Amino acid sequence: MNLSTGEIYFPNKIRYSVHISMKIICIGHNYSEHNKELFGGYEGDPVFFMKPDTALLRNNAPLYYPKFTQDLQYEVELVLKICRLGRGISEKFAHRYYDQIGVGVDFTARDIQRECKEKGLPWELCKAFDYSAPISSQLIPVEQIRDVNDIHFSLTRNGEIVQQGRSRDMIFSFDRIVAYVSQFVSLKIGDLIFTGTPSGVGPVAVGDVLVASIEGQEMLKTEIK
């Protein structure tokens, strides 16, 4: 392998490019009020699923309403950025594995999710589609945050607050999430963890503008086209 170009040379001279990728891990059922609205008051271990890197939507780009759903819904979430390679991380040391926090939207095709749940099918169709994960361009370094366990965040739809939450209301803390997920899946530098949504999830329509904020500061804007 040529380390400077990231290319691998096989003996037969066929050249392959190595694409460095990241993954997006999303936590479900992490706010009790939201669990009541969607999951009949779920209590148990953290639930997680993944979105591919093609789900990322950056730089406040608009989201085009996907053709395969009639019920696209927003879920605003705090997002951790992983800064160290790790697996089987203990909760005590988990804080060393994320160094920035941003805000994102876990877009969900709710009609398809309902079907998946009824049939016991996996969630990729309703969660992992292209551009289903807008994230703030700016992430806040953890050391600049007064108390990571008490971050206020919110989402407005066309200027009206539709969701707000505080990280202290999470059932599973950031550290518990990192420890739990890393028992099953290695975390790599650049991976993102969406940490779950508070209550108030709801549908969007073409023309809507969503704005997500942390501590009242606008971080992410997404127009639905």
Chain contacts with Mg ion (rule: CB under 5 A): 75, 106, 197
Six-digit token string for 201:
């999830």
Least Cβ distance, residue 77 to Mg ion (angstroms): 6
Among residues 162 and 189, whose Cβ is nearest to Mg ion? Answer: 162
Q: Are 209 and 223 in contact (CB under 8 A)?
A: yes
Q: Are 8 and 15 in contact (CB under 8 A)?
A: yes
Among residues 100 and 197, whose Cβ is nearest to Mg ion? Answer: 197
Least Cβ distance, residue 105 to Mg ion (angstroms): 9
Least Cβ distance, residue 52 to Mg ion (angstroms): 16
DSSP reduced 3-state for 45: coil
Residue nearest to Mg ion (CB): 106
Among residues 27 and 89, whose Cβ is nearest to Mg ion? Answer: 27
Whole-number Å distance between alpha carbons of 54 and 57: 8
Among residues 81 and 110, whose Cβ is nearest to Mg ion? Answer: 110
- DSSP code string of 50-102: EE-GGGEE-TT--BPPPTT-S-EEE-EEEEEEE-S-BSS--GGGGGGGEEEEE
Q: Are 165 and 153 in contact (CB under 8 A)?
A: yes
Among residues 125 and 189, whose Cβ is nearest to Mg ion? Answer: 125
Judge residue 43's burial from the number of C-beta atoms within 10 Å of its C-beta, 0-12 exposed, 13-18 middle, 19 or more buried.
Answer: exposed
* CA count, 13 A, side-chain hemisphere, 174: 28
Q: Are 195 and 86 in contact (CB under 8 A)?
A: no
Among residues 7 and 115, whose Cβ is nearest to Mg ion? Answer: 115
Least Cβ distance, residue 123 to Mg ion (angstroms): 10
Least Cβ distance, residue 155 to Mg ion (angstroms): 12
Least Cβ distance, residue 181 to Mg ion (angstroms): 14
